[in-house]
Structure formats: C-alpha cells, structure tokens
A and B are shown apart, each in its own frame.
Chain A
Amino acid sequence: GAVVSQHPSRVICKSGTSVKIECRSLDFQATTMFWYRQFPKQSLMLMATSNEGSKATYEQGVEKDKFLINHASLTLSTLTVTSAHPEDSSFYICSAINYRDRGPEDYGYTFGSGTRLTVV
C-alpha cells in the first residue's frame, strides 16, 4: 500500500529558529500533499495544499510567510516553520495522494506519522 514517511518525528527548537519538516511518498508519486496541524484532543486543521511544481494554497488564517511549503518533486514536500515561537508548538501531519493514478474506488489519503514540534 501507499506509504508516506515524515521526518523528524519529534523536534525541540529554540524560539526564533527555523525548523524544516519533510514529507516523502515512498512508493507512489504524490501529485498533491496536504499539511495539517493538530492540537491536543482536537481534530486536524488543514494548513495548506501543495501541488507539485506550483505554489502552495494556504487556508485562511495561516501565515504563508511563517509556514513555508515547498513541493519541489512528486515525492517530497517540506514545511518550514520560520522564526518559531512557543505558540507554534503543535503536532504537524502531512498527507499525500496521487490523483492521476487512483481510480474512484481508491481515494484514501495516506498520512505521515506526524512531527511533534516543541518550541522552547
């Protein structure tokens, strides 16, 4: 089945520094990748949608200059949290799908294992 690898699984950084999170589709080409943020005991909040080779589309209220997304290839998308602050501490999860190759009966989105970011 489709596998999405996300790294790192956990990161602690100092306030003011930047952190990069990688999301890779291991056995399929991801035409679209999604980045989510999840607070404790809450659901996933979509931050942005990225299509390979084009700029990411950010959801309302998400600062695109703070959360930089690069989807440079069909197997890799990165999320960079710039000038991180304690309020950016959260669980970040990516998901990926290949719209071209999947038929109507197989539209499950595959998720990475998540990255717990702690800003101190």
Chain B
Amino acid sequence: QKEVEQDPGPLSVPEGAIVSLNCTYSNSAFQYFMWYRQYSRKGPELLMYTYSSGNKEDGRFTAQVDKSSKYISLFIRDSQPSDSATYLCAAYPRLTGGGNKLTFGTGTQLKVEL
C-alpha cells in the first residue's frame, strides 16, 4: 500500500465548475500536507500548505485536512482553463531537525474545458 494514494484521473470539467481533488494517506506520522500544481514539463509549484485539521482558503483554492480519517482534499472554485494541470498531494512528518522527505501521491491530471 502506498503511503499517499491519489486517483490519477484524468478529470475533465467544464469551465466554472467546482473541482474536488482528494488523497488518502496511511502514515499517522504525517503532520504537514501540501498541494502542488505541475504544468506539463515543469517543476511542481506549491499551491497550499496545511498543518492542522480543518480548512485553509486562498483565493479560489481551499485545502481541507481530516486527520481522523486520513483524508486530504483540494477544492478549486470557478475553475479556469489555466487550472488544467496535474495536481499532486504531498505529506511529511513533523520536522525534528530537518531532512524529512516529502511523500507524493501519483498526481491527478485535471483538464478544464471551455
């Protein structure tokens, strides 16, 4: 079982739709959770970072963490064609001096169509 599971998609939605991207994780030591966006042939770009359970909002993006069920989500409101990319969830344990590794999900490919 992978430590972070993510549906690879592809996911296709019409412009303006609300997108829901999800991941589950199995390692209880994970404390920090991130969502990255990766355009084709580019490096990942950090979108959201969360630590505690609950919601964190940044513009059209909302990250949600439920540590009791080990479930993390990213919601995109009013999706735009420019949101078309691969979205990677990632997690790592609480830092104790550095060197902790990010564990990535496989990424969900999103396409927002006109």
Interface residues of A (CB under 8 A from B): 4, 6, 31-32, 34, 41-44, 46, 49, 51, 57, 91, 93, 95, 97, 99-100, 104-114, 116
- B45: which A residues are within 8 A, CB to CB? 111
B107–A108 CB distance below 8 A: no
How many contacts A-B (CB < 8 Å)? 64
Q: Which residues of B contact A106 (CB under 8 A)?
A: 49
Central interface residue in B49, B97, B109, by most chain A CB within 10 Å: B49
Decide: A116 and B41 in contact? CB cutoff 8 A.
yes
Chain B residue nearest to A44 (CB atoms) is B104
Instruction: Give the Cβ gap from B101 to chain A, nearest Cβ, in Å.
Output: 6
Interface 1/0s, chain B 85-111, versus A by CB < 8 A? Answer: 000100000010111011011110100
- CB B69 to nearest CB in A, in angstroms, measures 22
The count of chain B contact residues (Cβ–Cβ below 8 Å) is 24
- Contact partner, A31, options B8, B44, B98, Cβ 8 Å: B98
Complex alpha-carbon distance, A34 and B43, angstroms: 13
The answer to whether B34 has its CB under 8 Å from any CB of chain A is yes
Within 8 Å of chain A (Cβ to Cβ): is B46?
yes
| B42–chain A nearest beta-carbon distance, Å | 6
When C-beta atoms are compared, the residue in chain A nearest to B106 turns out to be A43
A43 to chain B, nearest CB (A): 4
Distance A2 CA – B51 CA, assembled complex (angstroms): 20
Residue of A nearest to B105 (CB): A43
